[in-house]
Every structure is written in structure tokens, then in C-alpha cells.
Amino acid sequence: MNAFGDITKAIKMIQDGSRENISTNLGNRHKVRSFYNNILNPMSDRGDVTIDTHAVAAGLLQPLGGSAPEVSHNLGTAGDTSAITGVMGSYGIYADAYREAAAEAGILPREMQSSTSEAVRGLFGNFKNPKNNKRVKDIWKKYDKGTISLEDARGEINAIAGGIERAAWERPDAPGGTSGRGGSQSAEVRGSSDPGGVLSLGISGGEPGTVTRDSRRPTFVLPPSQQNRNVAEDTPLGAAIRETLGPDYGFAPNSRISGSRPATPTEVEEQLRIVEKLVSEGKTIKIGKEGGAFENGIRSLQAIKRIAEAMNVSFVLADSMAEMNRLKGNAGGSDTMLGFYRRVGARATPLDQINPQDNLIAVLRPGAKTSLGMKMTLAESTFTAAHELGHALSGSALNRNAPDDAIGNIRKLKTGKRTTDNRHITYDNSFEGEIAKIIKKKFTKNPGTIVEMLDELVNLQRTGVMSVIEGSPVGVREGYIDMFNMLDAQSKAAGMTPARAAEFVRTKPQAKQMLKESADKYEDYTQRAAELAADLVGVYIIDPQFMKEVAPKSAQFARVFLNNSDLGRLVTFFSAPFTAILAAIMANMMVAEVEEEEQRGILSLGQGALTA
């Protein structure tokens, strides 16, 4: 009859789909409610995780069945419960453990649960009986007494259980087994070594229209497998790339890793709640403010989505690349962007005139496959969202009454050459317009020290790795590490040793030429005023301490222009005492100029306060 009871509840929920009715019929059990949430929204970043018998067994590494006390305690059918807090049994302890482990691995908690549950079923599936259960418990007793190490205990258990038997879907002989799954590392690399052994770089430029700002990795996507490795120092190939591109290029991806503490899943969840509250009350979100909820930045994807929506910008988490292309108005296309911001009309729109029909941020959701078959991580989606929000903020009007003409005589940062490429053109009365003016100023006779902030920004792109969530740092511009990964994979596929690959890059004119051309093309994109502005704002949103540590002048520039603009009502950026000290040293040489410009900026932002 119990089965009827469950079906009855399901029918009640179908008949009345209100939140209250669904909640009532789900009951108070943590597992049931979490399972519902996991099915309803599998890609949610709110940390729901279904702790069932297998999850407890995996958590304790014991062959437990449904009647085991540990399982009953987890489910709350035995042990303590609290009528005050609603906590039932030990469920929360396991759930938090899974959340922490997932954060370390850079995956969702429910992904950690399902993968370890499959493994523990494969380990204990045919092993579970009273005698074996006792054998496993005896091993844990030895560990508790300190006679064996944790590693030994795990090893012994694995040995007596006979190792992990593969899941049905994983067996090569099973229908739809491994053959249909994701490709190998080499298959994910765009381009491959050609028969002649020439290293090829499949980098191509090309973003459409001035009003669509694509993601940080427009042309190639690879996993951040080298995330914490300074390849330019640690590998012969990285050193060769650095040498070939020259000192001006400063190839050193991942050499500056943020020391900020990454957010825990609980903090991420709390941030969304706070953002919801502030937005609903029309209050300002204060990023980097000491002691505030966002002192270490906003690390919640959903919170960033909510801020965009508070700007009246539509925000879509796309399930697939096909959906990304469709949203971009290129249905059936093959663009490889991980996110974009699109607005109708290139001019800077005042905050109160932005509407969701004409303004859209789209981000590939965590777990969705990129064009090359890699899965987006939650951290990658989160920073991509922050970057696109950076585009929305830096492209909007600073002052609703100021003129917003196109800025003329735009120059490319890398060469100083004038360009009429409309992807470089930005409009006055916007933050990205102010960056464009700084770029112009760099090539005047008296550029002033403030242009040094451009070096900060470029170095931030080239070398920076931010803290986002535990175990999942993200490069500011992962295209640089992708460049290394591509060459590394191609050289390995060609059977080259690391030394030979390095020599190849250093000595083969064709390889050198292609590397330089590809790198320049990439930076032609990343060093546009709009991209520099979006990275500045995006990094400040995610990791303000890092931003202020490695790019204090840029951070100050953002505070001057954004905090004193109409946009400051929505989001303001703060400088903590630590960075105030740092900034005092770093910005000492520019303080007079900035103070002067700040005054003018506040009074007449639209007049081009920093125009030479």
C-alpha cells in the first residue's frame, strides 16, 4: 500500500502544481526534497544533493544496506531530529561532506554523489553480507586505533571487496557503452599535427557586430588542466613559446594565482539570498567592502544572473551550443562562444531605459558541452557570467543625460594603429568608452602615468587565475593556456619529446610565424576596449581582492567611473584597507592626475574626462 501512497502524492502534485502543495506532499524528509530539487533543476548551483543508502555507504566506505543504523540516522528515521530547525538525523553532515568534496573537484554536489554511488555499488554490490560487513568494520576499527593509515584502510577494503566492478553502462559489452562517450584529449584539440610535422594553431578571430560581446574564449576551448601550473617556467615548450613571442608579449599564463579564499557552497547559496534581498529592496550591492557579504566577490552564478535581471537584461543559461547559436540569432551556426552579451543599438543606454527584449546575456550552463565536447564547470560559467555582466555594465550609460557619440580615431592597443573595425568602436558616456580613451591617450605625446593601468589589465588577462569556488580556479583569459595546451597536444600526437617540441617552436620559421600570428589575432580581440572593460569589471565582481592586488590602478579607475555613475546605484566597488595601503604605494605616482580627473569625471563624465 505504500506504493499507492507515493503515487497518490504524485497525483496530488500533478493536480495542484502550486509551490505550497508540492512542498506539503514532498514532506519533511531531506532526501525526498533534495531528490525532487535535483530532478527539477539538475544544474542548480544551490548545492542540493540526494543522500541515499549508497551515498552513506560511499561516504563511510562500508557495505551498508537500507536497514543499517548509519543509513537510518541519515534518513532521520532513527536518531535525533529538531522541530525547531527542521534538521532530521545526520543528513546534513553527509550533504556538507559531498558539497565540500564536489567543490574540490569542481563539480556539482549531486554529480559527486551519483559518481561515487555508482562506484560504491560496483565495489560492494555482490559483497554485502553480515560477515563481510564485519570485516570492513574491523578494518575501520584498526584505523580508529591508529594501527593503520587512512590510505591503508581504504586499500584493504578495496582489496577484500575485489575492486570496483564497472557500471552496466560503462561495460564495453553493454549496449551504448563507452564508444559513444566523450573523446580523448587529442580529439578535443582543434587542429592536429599535419603529416609534415608542422605545428598548427587553429586560432581564428571573428566576432560579429559591435553590440555582441562574446565570451573569453572565442575560438578554442580546452579544459583548464594546466590551471595551477606556470607553463612558461615549468615546461620546455612553455619557455619556447615565451621566448618566441618575445618579452613584449609576456607569455606566462597561470603565473599569478589569486590568494583569495574561494567560496564554499554554503557561502555561494547565501550570496544569492542576500542579492535577492538587496535587489528587491532597491539597495546597492557592495563588492569588495570589508566585512560585507561580498568582501571576497560574488561567486554565485545565480546571484550574477539576478543582478543582470535587476538591470533589465535578460539572462539565459543555455543548455547547449546549439541553443547559444540560436540565441545569438545564428540558428544552426557553429560559433564556439561560451557566453555573450547582445544589445540592440550600439549606443550606451541609460540604466532606466534598458529593456529585456533588446538586452540579453547568454552563458553556457555548467555541465553543458562546449563545441569541442568539454563540460563547462560551475566556476567557468560563473566567471563567464560575470564577464558578460561586465559588458552590460561597461556598455551602459554612465550618466543618463550625457551625450553618447561614437569615439573617433580609435586605436588598437597593441600597435597604436587607427582602426575602423567596428568591433573596436565604443561610445562615449560608457565605461568601455573611457577605456577606449585611455588607449588613445597612450599614443599621444604626453600619455601620463595613468596609461600604466592598461599594462595591468593586459597582464591580468595574460597571467591571472582567480579564485571562484573551492577547487575550481578560472583563468581570466584561458585562451593563453589553451595556446600552450594545443601545441602540447599536437606535439605529443606527432610523437615529439618536450625538448623536441620546444626546439621546433624556436627554430621552425613557419611555426614561429603561425604562433605569432595566432597570438596577435587573439590579442586583437582580447585587447579591445570593450573586452578590457568587461574583464576589469568581471574580475572585480568575482575576486575584488585579486583585482586590487594585481591591478590597483585599474580597480581605482573602475571605482571612480562606475561608483559615481548612474550604475553605482546598482553595484559599487570598494577598496579594503589592505589594498588601500597597496594602492597608496602603487598609485602614488598617479594620484595627482587621478584626483583631478576624478573631480572632472564626477561633474562631467560625458565630456571625456580623460581625453588627451
Q: Which residues bind other proteins (CB under 8 A)?
A: 1, 3-5, 7-12, 15, 114, 126, 168-169, 174-176, 180-181
Amino acid, single-letter form, for residue 39: I
262 close to 299: Cβ distance less than 8 angstroms:
yes
User: How many CB atoms lie under 10 A from the CB of residue 585?
Assistant: 9
Please give the single-letter amino acid code of residue 231: V
Sign of the CA dihedral with 38 first, then 40, 41, and 45 last: negative
> Cβ of residue 127: shortest distance to other proteins, in angstroms?
13
Q: Hey, what's the cell of 551?
A: 591591478
CB distance 424 to 410 below 8 Å: yes
**What is d(CA 77, CA 245) in angstroms, rounded to the nearest whole number?**
64
Of 3 and 84, which has the nearer Cβ to other proteins?
A: 3
Length of the chain, in residues:
612
Looking at 146-197, list the stretches that DSSP marks H as alpha helix, in order from N- to C-terminal side.
Answer: 150-161, 185-188
Q: Tell the smallest beta-carbon distance from residue 115 to other proteins (Å).
A: 8
* Residue 114: CB minimum distance to other proteins, A: 8
The CB-of-378 to other proteins minimum distance in angstroms stands at 17
What's the closest the beta carbon of residue 133 comes to other proteins, in angstroms?
A: 20
**Residue 140 and residue 159: Cα distance in Å, rounded?**
14
- Specify the residue, 160 or 168, whose C-beta has the smaller distance to other proteins: 168
Q: Which is nearer to other proteins, 176 or 196 (CB)?
A: 176
Residue whose C-alpha is closest to residue 295's, from 315, 321, 270, 277: 270
The nearer residue to other proteins, 32 or 346, going by C-beta atoms, is 32
- Spatial distance between the Cα atoms of 260 and 596, rounded to a whole number of angstroms: 32
Look up residue 136 and give its three cell numbers.
570492513
Q: Are 460 and 551 in contact (CB under 8 A)?
A: yes
Cβ at position 320, least distance to other proteins in Å: 12
In whole angstroms, give the CA distance from residue 491 to residue 502.
9
Q: Which is nearer to other proteins, 4 or 577 (CB)?
A: 4
Minimum CB separation of residue 364 from other proteins in Å reads 17
The HSE-up count of residue 43 (CA atoms within 13 Å, CB side) is 19
Closest residue by Cα to residue 580 from 605, 543, 544: 544
Closer to other proteins at the Cβ: 114 or 491? 114
- 162's torsion region: left (phi>0), alpha (psi -120 to 50) or beta? left
Cα separation, 501 vs 490, whole angstroms: 9
Residue type, position 465, single letter: V
| Comparison of 102 and 232: residue with beta carbon closer to other proteins | 102
Backbone region of residue 586 per phi and psi (left: phi > 0; alpha: psi in -120 to 50; beta: other values): alpha
Least distance CB 538 / other proteins (angstroms) = 31
**Rounded least distance, CB 519 to other proteins, Å:** 36
Min CB(341)–other proteins separation in Å? 30
> CB of 399 within 8 A of CB of 354?
no
**Closest distance of CB 167 from other proteins, Å:** 8
Within 10 angstroms of residue 326's Cβ, the number of other Cβ atoms is 15
Q: Which is nearer to other proteins, 198 or 372 (CB)?
A: 372
Closest to other proteins by CB, 178 vs 507, is 178
Closer CB to other proteins, 27 or 155, in the complex: 27
Our CB check for other proteins shows the closer of 11 and 591 to be: 11
